[in-house]
């Protein structure tokens, strides 16, 4: 996409509306294609073609752009330049890699981007994205050519293992496909190749309380042992022993064995299981107490 923007900017053209729904995947070669160029004509007419380079192209035209994708000066004042498109391209990249909306990747109080906790990228690539997202226009890259010069082929490698999956979007009646980054690569729970993020290490309440059910959605099939009668080994405590094992190792094994989009998705899933497990155990305990009270009341009535 950077070579495309480099060409447009060299012609004095600013797209102004770069977002996921304006990028489609070309079927024959799988390359991304920038669409919806209707908003560039006014800018092209306003920009002087006498500019020496794309770095000098700055215009205050009609306001256009999507909230969250376009930079502040574009949304408030209608001021655009090549770095405006580069800002929107960086936001679009983060949305596609995390599967989250821009509002979920920015601190609403400080208006600072906080996407780094969702992705693990090489320090160089992270620095490039942060500079593209700089709040002050002068601190950003002023041309796509500057970014291309820093990107040594191949494109900077994403440190965390990824697997690309396609999601379908509909934009103005056109069905398009976009790539999402998902981590980690699913595998065997005994593999040591998948790095375990520190944020997910801890006790798994879902695995401890409901091991026979928790294992199904987390793909930790060792939890099925809870359903097997191994009384000669476990002395009738198969469910409890399996739960203890999954309580200690459940999060780690679930991270390795199933495909997750992000750490936050993983933590949300485990939180859901913890709530379900605690509510179920609490409900069973309440029912048990009520049954005992009922028996005592009946016994008191009979003996009285």
- Examine the domain organization and report whether 144 and 290 are in the same domain: no
CA distance 167 to 32: 14
Q: Measuring CA to CA, which residue among 244, 169, 145 is closest to residue 203? A: 244
Q: Percentage of residues in the chain with pLDDT exceeding 90?
A: 20
pLDDT in tens, 56-97: 445 555 567 788 888 888 888 888 899 999 999 999 999 999
pLDDT > 70 in the chain, percent = 76
Whether 7 and 84 share a structural domain: yes
Q: Cα separation of 91 and 55, whole Å?
A: 21
Same domain flag for 163 and 209: no
pTM exceeds 0.95, yes or no: no
User: Strands, DSSP E only, in 51-100?
Assistant: 59-60, 79-80
Tens of pLDDT, residues 119-157: 888 889 999 999 999 999 999 999 999 999 988 665 445
Name the pLDDT band for 53 (thresholds 50, 70, 90).
very low
On whether both 57 and 174 belong to a single domain, the answer is: yes
Q: Which tokens sit at 282?
A: 């609490």
- Statement to judge: residues 59 and 94 lie in one domain: yes
Whether residue 175 sits in one domain with residue 27: yes
Query: Is the domain of 86 the same as that of 177?
Result: yes
Identify the domain containing residue 242 by its residue range. Answer: 198-303
Residue of higher predicted confidence among 56 and 33:
33
Amino acid 171: pLDDT: 47
Please give the positions annotated as active site.
17
Distance between CA atoms of residues 12 and 241, nearest Å: 68
Same domain, 138 and 40: yes
When comparing pLDDT for 160 and 250, which is higher?
A: 250
Altogether, the residues listed in the chain come to a count of: 304
Report for 87-91, 107-111, 189-193, 231-235: range of highest mean pLDDT: 87-91
Does 171 share its domain with 232? no
Query: DSSP 3-state assignment of 164?
Result: strand
Please compute the mean of the pLDDT values over residues 28-39 and round it to a whole number. Answer: 79
Residue where a domain stops, chosen among 148, 181, 214:
181
For the segment 224-245, the average pLDDT, to the nearest whole number, is 80
Tell me which of 124, 146, 181 is where a domain ends.
181
Task: State yes or no: pLDDT of 40 exceeds 70.
Answer: no
Please tell me which of 121-135, 160-174, 218-232 the model is most confident about, judged by mean pLDDT.
Answer: 121-135
Residue 282 predicted with pLDDT over 60: yes
* Together in a domain, 172 and 279: no
Same domain, 272 and 155: no
170 and 204, same domain (yes or no): no
With a cut of 60, say whether residue 246 has pLDDT above it: yes
Q: How many domains does the chain have?
A: 2
Of 208 and 187, the one with more pLDDT = 208
């Amino acid at each position: 996409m950077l070579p495309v923007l480099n060409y447009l900017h060299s012609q004095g053209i600013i797209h102004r509306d770069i977002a996921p729904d304006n990028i489609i995947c070309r079927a024959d070669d799988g390359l991304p294609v920038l669409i919806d160029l209707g908003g560039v004509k006014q800018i092209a007419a306003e920009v002087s073609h006498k500019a020496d380079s794309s770095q000098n192209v700055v215009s205050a035209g009609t306001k256009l752009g999507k909230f969250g994708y376009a930079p502040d000066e574009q949304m408030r004042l209608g001021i655009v330049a090549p770095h405006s498109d580069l800002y929107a391209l960086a936001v679009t990249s983060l949305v596609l890699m995390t599967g989250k909306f821009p509002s979920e990747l920015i601190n609403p109080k400080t208006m600072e981007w906080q996407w780094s906790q969702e992705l693990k990228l090489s320090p160089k690539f992270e620095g490039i994205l942060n500079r593209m997202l700089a709040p002050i226009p002068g601190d950003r890259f002023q041309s796509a050519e500057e970014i291309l010069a820093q990107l040594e082929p191949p494109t900077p490698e994403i440190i965390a293992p990824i697997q690309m999956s396609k999601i379908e979007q509909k934009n103005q009646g056109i069905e398009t496909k976009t790539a999402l980054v998902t981590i980690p690569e699913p595998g065997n729970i005994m593999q040591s190749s998948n790095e375990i993020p520190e944020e997910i290490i801890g006790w798994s309440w879902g695995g401890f309380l409901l091991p026979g059910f928790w294992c199904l959605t987390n793909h930790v099939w060792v939890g099925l042992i809870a359903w097997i009668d191994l009384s000669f080994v476990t002395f009738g405590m198969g469910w409890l022993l399996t739960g203890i094992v999954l309580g200690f190792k459940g999060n780690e094994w679930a991270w390795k064995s199933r495909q997750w989009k992000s750490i936050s998705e993983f933590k949300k899933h485990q939180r859901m299981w913890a709530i379900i497990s605690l509510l179920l155990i609490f409900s069973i305990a309440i029912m048990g107490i009520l049954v005992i009270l009922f028996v005592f009341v009946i016994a008191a009535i009979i003996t009285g």
